[in-house]
Amino acid sequence: MKYYSTRGKHSVNIQQAVLNGLADDGGLYMPAYIPQLPASFFENIENKSLPEIGFEVAKLFLEDSVPDEVLKEMIDEVLNFDIPVVPVHHNIYSLELFHGPTLAFKDVGARFMARLMSYYADGNSMKVIAATSGDTGSAVAAGFYNVPGINVYILYPKGKVSPLQEKQLTTWGGNIKALEIEGTFDDCQALAKQLLADEELQKHQVTSANSINIARLIPQSFYYFWAYAQLKKENKKIVFSVPSGNFGNLTAGLLAYKMGLPVDRFIASTNINNVVPQYLESGTYEARPSLSTVSNAMDVGNPSNFERMKDLFQEDVSKFREVISGYYFTDEETKATVQKVYKESGYLLDPHGAVAYLGLIQYQNEQQEGFNGVLLETAHPAKFIETVEESILEKIEVPEKLSAFGKKEKVATLFPVDFQQIKAFIKHN
Ligand SMILES: *Cc1c(COP(=O)(O)O)cnc(C)c1O
């Protein structure tokens, strides 16, 4: 199968799409067609393991570019932690995506991408660039740490990630370099795009690790099938609420849907960085500078994957509306929800999961009941300990995996928003 750029008709194979990250024309790669899963795949899906589902889905995208045994091993390694569907209360479930090494859903995509890239690079050296609003960087760092021949440059906005998130970005050493940028996440993202487009750097094989890379989206589609498999016996419609920033996770859900997964609706849940919910309402897309919120991994003013979504829906807002509803919520609503759900149901949401929960409840209030709502719980609450403790007025326990980062020494290089300085650093390090 070929992969084309959303900005042109230029096509490449999967190896090039993964190694390039971003297409030459600045567009994002999309599969030439969405592969379809046979009805038999869904008939006994409840008996399949997560790696089995992952293998069957991935195979359709990668075809014979990776031998079956290698792909199986890759997927077993990537998915070696639980992704449970946990009941919150009547009709509402949490798909817990945070049991990986950095306790955020991005572990799934980043680990798969690192292995796939390293396989396709076939021993050649590469420079991987990632802009992060928090969790991407640590998941990418964990995924690529010690992968031979690959250096990783993580650009993060100074003072705009939580203290523990910062430790998860800056304490790796080795092939992982942290660049602390005196700007916003949007500045980091714009710089990353500019670096990736730079002709001189391209001679050093630069590539992107952001959700613009198709290799992150493919594995993120697996867990929608997995959640469906867990809930299939209840024989109810399923609505997924996805706490969204760059909309990689939601786009992966749309891929699953277009491959045949029976989903009744997707909820695009955001904080006040609400360009997509506003687009769904007004039909006009207006990118804006991002605002800081307590769900900071979603502080994105111009979501990169919107370009893929437009492509999937032929730029037709009425087609978006057939499948997606959008809602957005303030920090006050988010914190009040963390508290309310904890007090009433004993389930502790993180701020991103709380935004997704609010989206489900709002949709439930506007529609008839009778569907199972699944919120994607994208991070462990302890990753946002300040906000969570302030919301529930209790101390929470920090998992050992996470506290271990806190004890290590931060190593980062500080930069103003200055393309030339950053480029020189990447070239020489
Ligand atoms: C990255 C992230 C999101 C947003 O995901 P996108 O795919 O960028 O929409 C939501 N929650 C958490 C915890 C994240 O790290």
Q: Would you say 426 and 129 are in contact if contact means Cβ atoms under 8 Å apart?
A: yes
Whether residue 63 has pLDDT greater than 90? yes
Ligand 1 center from residue 304 Cα (angstroms): 12
* Domain presence at residue 119: no
Whether residue 115 has its Cβ less than 6 Å from ligand 1: no
Residue % of the chain over a pLDDT of 90: 85
| Ligand 1 neighbourhood includes 276 CB (under 6 angstroms) | no
Higher-confidence residue of 384 and 368: namely 384
Q: What is the pLDDT of residues 183-200, one digit of tens each?
A: 998 899 899 989 988 999
The candidate with the shortest Cα–Cα distance to 168, out of 390, 385, 395, is: 385
Please tell me which residue, 124 or 421, carries the higher pLDDT value. Answer: 421
Q: Express each pLDDT in 78-87 by its tens digit.
A: 999 999 999 9
Alpha helices, DSSP H, located in 29-131: 39-43, 50-62, 68-78, 106-121
Q: Which long-range contacts (CB under 8 A, 24 or more apart) does 39-44 make?
A: 41/260, 42/260, 42/261, 42/262
Ligand 1 contact, 216 CB (< 6 A)? no
For a substitution probing ligand 1, which of 98, 99, 247, 249 has the most ligand atoms within 8 Å of its CB? 249
* Per-residue pLDDT at 302 exceeds 90: yes
In contact, 161 and 136? CB cutoff 8 Å: no
- Token pair, residue 366, equals 């506007």
Maximum alpha-carbon separation in the chain: 59
Query: Which burial class, exposed, middle or buried, applies to 125 when counting CB atoms under 10 A from its CB (0-12, 13-18, 19+)?
Result: exposed
* Cβ–Cβ under 8 Å, residues 216 and 308: no
Neighbour count for residue 40 (Cβ, 10 Å): 8
Who contacts 89 (Cβ-Cβ below 8 Å, separation ≥6)? 344, 345, 347
In terms of pLDDT, which residue wins out, 37 or 132? 37
Closest-lying ligand 1 atom to the alpha carbon of residue 249: 7
Bigger pLDDT: 370 vs 316: 316
Residue range 224-248: mean pLDDT, rounded:
97
For the cut 70, the answer to whether the pLDDT of residue 414 exceeds it is: yes
6 in ligand 1 pocket by Cβ < 6 Å? no
Work out the average pLDDT over 307-320: 97
Q: What is the mean pLDDT of residues 395-400?
A: 94
The residue assigned the tokens 């499948």 is 323
What integer is the mean pLDDT of 225-239? 97
For residue 211, pLDDT over 70 is answered with: no
In a domain, 109, yes or no: no
**Closest ligand 1 atom to 383 CA:** 13
Domain count, the chain: 1
For residues 28 and 339, give the distance between their C-alpha atoms in angstroms, rounded to a whole number: 39
Answer whether residue 120 is part of any domain: no
Structure pTM? 0.93
Question: 35-44, 95-104, 125-134, 394-403: which has the minimum mean pLDDT?
Answer: 125-134
Residue 150 in domain? no
Read off the pLDDT of residues 151-174 as tens digits, 9 standing for 90 and up: 999 999 999 888 888 999 999 999
Q: What is the mean pLDDT of residues 293-321?
A: 95
| Ligand 1: residue whose CA is nearest its atom 1 | 297
Whether the CB of 106 sits within 6 Å of ligand 1: yes
254, 309 contact by CB (below 8 A) = yes
* Ligand 1 atom with least separation from CA of 133: 1
Query: Per the domain annotation, does 393 fall within a domain?
Result: yes
The chain-wide mean pLDDT, for the chain, equals 94
- Report whether residue 252 contacts ligand 1, using a CB cutoff of 6 Å: no
Q: Is residue 22 part of a domain?
A: no
Give pLDDT tens digits for 252-267.
999 999 999 999 999 9
Is 158 part of a structural domain of the chain?
no
Q: What is the pLDDT of residues 106-120, one digit of tens each?
A: 999 999 999 999 999
Distance from the CA of 243 to the center of ligand 1, in angstroms?
A: 7
Domain at 357, CATH number: 3.40.50.1100
* Domain contains 358: yes
Predicted confidence band at 368 (pLDDT cuts at 50, 70, 90)?
confident
Ligand 1 center from residue 39 Cα (angstroms): 31
Domain enclosing residue 380, as ranges: 82-103+217-398
State which of 102, 108, 246, 329 you would mutate to test the pocket of ligand 1, scoring each by most atoms of that ligand within 8 A of its C-beta.
246
- Residue matched to tokens 């795949």: 41
**Ligand 1 neighbourhood includes 246 CB (under 6 angstroms):** yes
Mean pLDDT for 135-150 is 88
